[in-house]
Structure 1
């Protein structure tokens, strides 16, 4: 099907709740060519899963990269064999044990932020808690000096918005930091990456810069929105909110349901390597394909009562962290941070509730799904 999309991506109501439109697209135009953005859009779960996993057909590599080469040699923008080599090197240092060992520090940071919140009756949860926690955690993992961290949220948001100035500024920062680490190594991920080998092959200077940038962006944007979207989801569904507060052992499955219901990433993009067919549509070689994760995760053919938020949903094979070889390397860290942060938040503030008098403000971009701010009352 070929048409122009009938929505405005900057419309706040659409960004807050695109689900009725996504359901309509699944029913009426599950594979759709948008002439305005010159890309194919895929909405059904099985089709989205296929686009994200079949890398020989749907490439992650941008066919005509911009003159600025930053972010073109990263895990998210390469295919095998390059992707396999990069991931093997990174997995050697960004291990499951390394992530699990962060739990005490994440707990300590969480309680420090909660102590600061206790001084107020009402706070913006995004800026007092959901943003600073993951930024501090990922900055400490990378070994970024404390005084340099203020710039990272601004740069990270800029990269999501494809701001070339933000991309350049962050890349220049990491080039300088990497040069310093080569001379004076520390006990951090950047130092380990510099010395990591895979079959005698080191990461190139550009690959190191790109990986640091991707890890920093993915390590804070997704987790910030996961924490925020959890409180948002519970606010929208008071019965499920009460169920969770009565039994916090449901928190792990509740987090998975937030990932499905309010997926932090709306879509991922691929490029067709060969002519292919999805549904009844023939897609030529060299076409941009946008795989709508937020639609796949609500697909009624995959999820019974997919339009409902159910904190103990099983099974729940959502695609919030992607699928196939590009499955998010930082998923275990995001889940760990969310589990620690939300448990502590709900225990520390049993009467926490969203201020319903203030309108919700979505992040003003289609790529990520979350809130710019979320005012919460901490006391009865």
Structure 2
């Protein structure tokens, strides 16, 4: 297997986090000008204590008008009580019953995508399954044309596949570079989504966007500008996590053929395989918080107003919680990984991502008796400091 030479790899990130960990599971980093949190209990505390560790880090860098508009409805960056109001609306569309009811449709879409591949012996998992499946599902839920999915992918790639930057630079400098890079993308997204929202307001259908337009909270309806970031967040987060999980799990199984054999023999093991892959290849390796008041964490005193970087990828390899943490163990129990976060900002779409991954992987293993990562084509990875995911995963497959 080969990786694109210009890309930093997951082992690079793990080695870098190991060097950080040598300075303590919680410590101040003068170069990044923030507090680094690398331990599982400490990360869990930060994510759970939202009144102390705020999600509103909007002042990390100057923001453009486009970013301000997109952030209005982005409840990942909003604290209560506004967070409770917005997330409560979204939760209505992602109830366990609703998500479970999508299973037959997800299976149909997966089968159609695999049927389109036919009998070819070489496929690219990302292009032909891991990306189109979840984006079709979330686009349908939001009432967006699935035919626009090439544009959605371009947006996601530009947002989460940026050029490598120095991870030891101050967070403010990294944030400024990020704002410059994503502002044109956000401008395009805002315009597209505003048009979609206004169309849903004038000609409401039976999709989530139409329900958001009509929804009332305490007697008030959301304005279009609030719905933009809301729908944009669901669109992006509603597919990139599943895409990452599918690619990461297939890559992990290729690296551990004994586990692939086990899950083929016992399909009930598949959910545990997915969870262990999420632990070892955490899609979003880091979350940011800011202290609203002075806090004590892991034996360190953190002043008010401090930026806190919570490394989920490091917490998920904390040997205090996960014995032999670098070993892939689909029988690991319990497996309290933080790949989907924790607390009030726990990933709203986690049940849907898990369902999509389970169905798609199950059908993939059923259709092909042999699946191997190609040895003569590159596996293209995103920069793991931004997202642990794959852009290309060429597979050699043999049908049953």
Q: Structures share a fold, TM > 0.5?
A: yes
Question: Which consecutive residues of structure 1, in runs of 5 or more, have no partner in the other structure?
Answer: 1-9
Preserved CA contact (<8 Å) 1:156 1:216? no
**CA contact 1:268–1:290 (8 Å) conserved in 2:** yes
Return closer, same or farther for 1:157/1:365 CA change in 2, 3 Å cut-off.
farther
> For structure 1, which segment, 140-149 or 42-51, has the greater mean C-alpha deviation from structure 2 after superposition?
140-149
Q: 1:186 aligns with which of 198, 201, 205?
A: 205
Match of 1:147 in 2: 147
- Tell me by how many angstroms 1:23 deviates: 3.6
Q: Distance in 1 between matches of 2:384 and 2:359?
A: 28
Equivalent residue for 1:44, pick from 18, 39, 44: 39
Alignment map for 1:148-187 (pairs within 5 Å) = 148-160=148-160, 161=162, 162=178, 163-187=182-206
Candidates 58, 64, 67, aligned match of 2:64: 67
Query: Which residues of 2 match residues 84-123 of structure 1 at below 5 A?
Result: 84-123=84-123
279, 284, 308: which is aligned to 1:289? Answer: 308
The residue number in structure 2 matching 1:6 is none
Map 1:13-24; keep pairs closer than 5 Å.
13-16=8-11, 18-24=13-19
Q: 2:12 & 2:31 partners in 1: Cα distance?
A: 22
Counterpart CA distance in 1 for 2:305 and 2:339 is: 26
Aligned length: 371
1 CA distance for matches of 2:40 and 2:375?
A: 33
Deviations 1:252-283 (A, max 9, x none): 11111111111111111111111222223332
Give CA-to-partner distance per residue, 1:6-44, whole Å, 9 cap, x none.
Answer: xxxx97354355334434433433223333432222100
Partner residue of 2:243? 224
Partners of 1:94 and 1:237 lie apart in 2 by 33
Output the CA distance in 2 between the equivalents of 1:34 and 1:276. 17
Aligned-pair RMSD on alpha carbons? 1.9
In the alignment, what sits opposite 1:83?
Answer: 83
1:214 to 1:305, Cα distance in 2 relative to 1, 3 A: same
- Residue by residue over 1:115-161, the C-alpha shift from the partner in whole angstroms, topping out at 9 and shown as x without a partner, is 12234111111111111111111111101123333210111222335
Cα offset, 1:71, TM superposition = 3.2
Q: Distance in 2 between matches of 1:261 and 1:285?
A: 32
Counterpart of 1:278 (choices 297, 310, 314) is: 297
- TM-score, scaled to structure 2: 0.88
Q: Specify which of 364, 368, 381 is matched with residue 349 of structure 1.
A: 368
In structure 2, the partner of 1:4 is none
C-alpha contact 1:93 1:192 (8 A) present in aligned 2:
no
Q: Which runs of 5+ in 2 are unaligned?
A: 163-177
Structure 1 stretches of at least 4 aligned residues deviating more than 6 Å after TM superposition: none
